[in-house]
């Protein structure tokens, strides 16, 4: 039986993975940054395909490539100018492509290892949820990036979920430490 969430995501495979014993529940094997999954396009929603949602497919491929390569120069072309970032580090969303792109680059630079796994698609192909796992110092972080796209495939909303709390606390402390020199001026 397939569980269907509020946004229409088909989640049976993810639920099965999450309920396994902790030692067996690693979503992804350890990988260096440069070999993160970039070419696979998991289809957990058989109603969506590359031919039915070409803008979404292009955005997803570019997004994965950006994080696999660590080259964020294309981030501006993927983000809507009025994009909103809902981060676990702040209760207020961050607004605008420049600010969001900068924070994404900063946050990603804190990971020693990062990889995306499964991608869940909404029924219309304009909402994606990408599971990820990364290593920051002694902390393994797992989470989901939820992307909402416009008709041209640009990201209008990005919502980041990260766990466990020690990894999130480490991320928060490092972001604050690195941003302190910028805000002191």
The bridge status of strand 94-95 relative to strand 79-86 is antiparallel
The bridge status of strand 155-163 relative to strand 79-86 is parallel
Q: How would residue 180 be classed by pLDDT, with cut points 50, 70 and 90?
A: confident
Q: What is the pLDDT of residues 24-45, one digit of tens each?
A: 334 444 444 444 333 344 444 5
* Number of domains forming the structure of the chain: 1
Q: Residue 2 falls within a domain, yes or no? A: no
pLDDT exceeds cutoff 70 at 71:
yes
Please tell me the predicted confidence (pLDDT) of residue 47: 54
Residue pair 148/121 in contact (Cβ under 8 Å)? The answer is no
Q: Sheet of 94-95: strands edge to edge?
A: 94-95, 79-86, 155-163, 139-149, 127-136, 113-121
Q: Give me the residue label for tokens 């809902």.
A: 86
Q: Residue 1 falls within a domain, yes or no? A: no
Please tell me the predicted confidence (pLDDT) of residue 80: 96
CATH code of the domain containing 119: 3.10.450.50
Identify the three-state secondary structure at position 66. Answer: helix
Residue 136 lies in domain: 12-183
Residue pair 179/105 in contact (Cβ under 8 Å)? The answer is no
Q: Residue 39 falls within a domain, yes or no? A: yes
Percent of the chain residues past pLDDT 70, beyond the cut: 70
Q: Residue 3 falls within a domain, yes or no? A: no
Q: Residue 6 falls within a domain, yes or no? A: no
Q: What is the pLDDT of residues 111-155, one digit of tens each?
A: 999 999 989 988 888 899 999 999 998 999 999 999 999 989 999
Percent of the chain residues past pLDDT 90, beyond the cut: 43
Tell how many helices (H) and how many strands (E) occur in the chain: 5, 6
């Amino acid at each position: 039986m397939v569980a269907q969430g509020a946004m229409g995501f088909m989640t049976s495979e993810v639920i099965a993975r999450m309920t396994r014993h902790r030692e067996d529940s690693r979503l992804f094997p350890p990988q260096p940054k440069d070999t993160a999954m970039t070419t696979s396009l998991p289809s957990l929603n058989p109603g969506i395909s590359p031919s039915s949602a070409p803008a979404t497919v292009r955005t997803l491929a570019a997004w994965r490539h950006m994080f696999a390569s660590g080259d964020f120069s294309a981030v501006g072309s993927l983000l809507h100018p009025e994009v909103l970032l809902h981060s676990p580090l702040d209760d207020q969303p961050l607004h605008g492509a420049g600010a969001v792109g900068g924070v994404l680059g900063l946050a990603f630079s804190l990971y020693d290892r990062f990889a995306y796994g499964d991608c869940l698609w909404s029924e219309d192909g304009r909402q994606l949820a990408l599971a990820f796992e990364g290593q920051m110092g002694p902390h393994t972080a797992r989470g989901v990036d939820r992307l909402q796209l416009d008709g041209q495939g640009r990201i209008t909303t990005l919502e980041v979920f990260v766990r466990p709390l020690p990894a999130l606390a480490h991320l928060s402390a490092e972001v604050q430490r690195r941003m302190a020199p910028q805000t002191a001026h």
